[in-house]
Amino acid sequence: MTKTESGRRGNGEGSISAVRTLSNGDTVYRFSIWANSLTEGRKRVKGTHIGRSIQEAKKAMWEKKNEEETKHQSPAAQNFTVTNLLTEWMEKDRKNSGASPRTLQIQKDLIRLHVQPRMGRWLVTALTAGRLDDFHRELLNETELGRSRFQIHVVLNQMLGYAVKRGYLNVNPLLSVKVPRRQEKRKEEVSSLIKAWTPSEAGQLERAALADGNTLSLSIAFGLRTGMRRGEIFGLKWSQVNLDEGSLRIKEVLSTHGKLSRSMTEPKNAPSRRKIMLGQSALKILRLVQERQRLGQKADQPIPEFVFTTRSGEMQHPNNAYRALHRLLDAEQLPRLPFHSLRHTFVSIAAHQGWSIKQVSVYIGHANTLVTQTTYLHLWPEDQEAIEFDLAEPDNKSLEEEE
């Protein structure tokens, strides 16, 4: 009598059954799995394997599936690596897709930093949903990437869609893969939802930054006074600043992907490309930066291109500003909020001091006022008041007349 053990898997992973055990201890396994054949379309592949474990049978099943899906492909396609595919996709398809230079640069950085080092040598024909899922979980566990992991997923999906169109793959294996999410920390206090410093806290932070006096500290004070994005601040060049007129133009931004990568790209949208008229406080900060650069400049050293630079006059990495900000906040015993909270604080204080939402929205480069009002405008707990209003008592006379 045949002894059968069924080991069914999830959708697309096939099924393996242990049929009988031989006298030498080996087990006869039967397997079945769906494959996408170039000539026959979707078909069920069946087979048997004799071995010691179900893991061996699983490996034999996937080899059979891969053989069926690649046997009609050209030798060039069978030796095609992910790096080969990425290069071809970027040159022949993505470059002419209408994507902005900023988007293309971001995608190139993501590929260079996170995709090629981990899966560049993989054969395209060997890509499976399981391997791609493992890749995503590796990113989740080994990096601190947030939104960039979803951007990487989009890049891979577009690349594999191109591979299907070109005949390198029969089906996009990423279609059944979801980006794993991090477990969010529970926010127990309402105060943790406030992403802006109060006016008094902001004043304390600005005084500390000006007293500290180094370039990174001055960039923090400048962020408080302009509401500019981090990439706008560290991508700002002196050629875009007019101190006599008291203005600057935002034409480029500094984009970062990871601890080492940085590049100049276009602003994220049309409203972000804007002219800003500077207040006296912001102008004072720029003049301080300019003076510091002149004092530290050697005779044969050219004038730095960027406003907020390293000590050697090179492009600054924005991550350094986080450390400078946290150092100032800890010294002043202020809430540890991120660098982007300088922008939230600017919006909230400007609105509370009478500037219209439309004025503030245009100044900071938002596409519409809804984002400014719902995401950036904060009401601090100490500004909240009880809402009390009168409800008119019924007119007894009119009630009597109705009766």
Q: Let me know: does 145 contact 256? Beta carbons within 8 Å.
A: no
Which band of pLDDT confidence, cut at 50, 70 and 90, is reported for residue 398?
A: very low
Alpha carbon separation from 145 to 134, 151, 257 (Å, rounded):
16, 10, 9
Q: Given this model, what pLDDT does residue 157 score?
A: 94
pLDDT at 253 over 50: yes
Residue the block writes with tokens 């080092």: 117
Give the SS3 label for residue 20: strand
* Cβ-defined contacts of 307-311 (< 8 Å, 24+): 307/236, 307/237, 307/238, 307/241, 308/215, 308/216, 308/218, 308/219, 308/222, 308/233, 308/234, 308/236, 309/215, 310/215, 311/215
Predicted pLDDT of residue 7: 45
- pLDDT at position 388 is 57
Flag the least confident range among 204-208, 331-335, 360-364, 383-387. Answer: 383-387
Compute how many other C-beta atoms are within 10 angstroms of the C-beta atom of residue 106. Answer: 21
Identify the pLDDT of residue 266.
83
* Every domain range in the chain assigned CATH 1.10.443.10: 201-336
Tell me the per-residue pLDDT of 304-325, one tens digit each, with 9 for 90 and over: 899 999 888 888 888 888 899 9
Helix (H, G, I), strand (E, B) or coil at 15: strand
Q: Is 365 helix (H, G, I), strand (E, B) or coil?
A: coil
Q: Which two tokens stand for residue 359?
A: 């004025």
C-alpha span between 301 and 294 (Å, rounded) = 10
To which H or E segment does residue 45 belong? strand 41-51
Residue 242 region by backbone torsions, left for phi larger than 0, else alpha for psi between -120 and 50, else beta = beta
Signed CA dihedral, 32, 33, 37, 43: sign only: positive
Which tens digits make up the pLDDT trace of 273-284? Answer: 999 999 999 999
Residues making up the chain, counted from first to last: 403
For 71, the 3-state DSSP assignment is: coil
Provide the CB-side half-sphere exposure for 121 (13 A, CA). Answer: 2
Structure tokens at 343: 């922008």
Instruction: Please tell me the distance from the alpha carbon of residue 373 to that of residue 77, in angstroms, as a whole number.
Output: 52
- Largest Cα–Cα separation, the chain: 105
Report which residue type is found at 316.
Q
Neighbouring C-beta atoms of residue 163, cutoff 10 Å: 24
Domain 201-336 class? mainly alpha
Q: What are phi and psi of 16, to 5 degrees?
A: -130, 130
Cβ-proximal residues to 189 (8 Å cutoff; 6+ apart), any chain: none
Band of residue 11 on the pLDDT scale cut at 50, 70, 90: low
Alpha helix ranges (H) inside 167-269: 199-212, 215-226, 230-234
The answer to whether residue 261 scores a pLDDT higher than 80 is no
7-16, 59-68, 366-375 — which is least confidently predicted? 7-16
Predicted confidence at residue 72, as pLDDT, reads 58
Stretch among 19-23, 209-213, 392-396 having the lowest mean pLDDT: 392-396
Does pLDDT of 52 surpass 80?
Answer: yes
The pLDDT value given to residue 133: 92
* Average confidence score pLDDT of the chain: 83
222: left (phi over 0), alpha (psi -120 to 50) or beta: alpha
pLDDT surpassing 70 at residue 78: no
Q: How wide is the angle at C-alpha 163 spanned by C-alphas 161 and 166, nearest 5°?
A: 110
Average pLDDT over residues 369-373: 80
Label residue 13 by pLDDT band (50, 70, 90).
confident
Share above pLDDT 90 across residues of the chain, in percent, rounded to a whole number: 41
Cβ-in-10-Å burial (0-12, 13-18, 19+) of 67 comes to exposed
As annotated, the residues of the chain forming the CATH 1.10.150.130 domain(s) are 78-176
Domain 78-176 sits in CATH 1.10.150.130: yes
Predicted local confidence at residue 142, as pLDDT: 87
pLDDT at 327: 95
Q: 120-153: per-residue pLDDT in tens?
A: 999 998 888 889 999 999 999 888 888 889 999 9
Structure-model confidence comparison of residues 71 and 99, the more confident one: 99
pTM: 0.61
Q: What is the pLDDT of residues 180-194, one digit of tens each?
A: 887 755 444 434 456
Six-digit token string for 171: 């089906």
Q: What are the backbone dihedrals phi and psi of residue 30, each rounded to the nearest 5 degrees, phi first?
A: -115, 140
Give the closest residue to 127 by CA, choosing from 75, 177, 61: 177
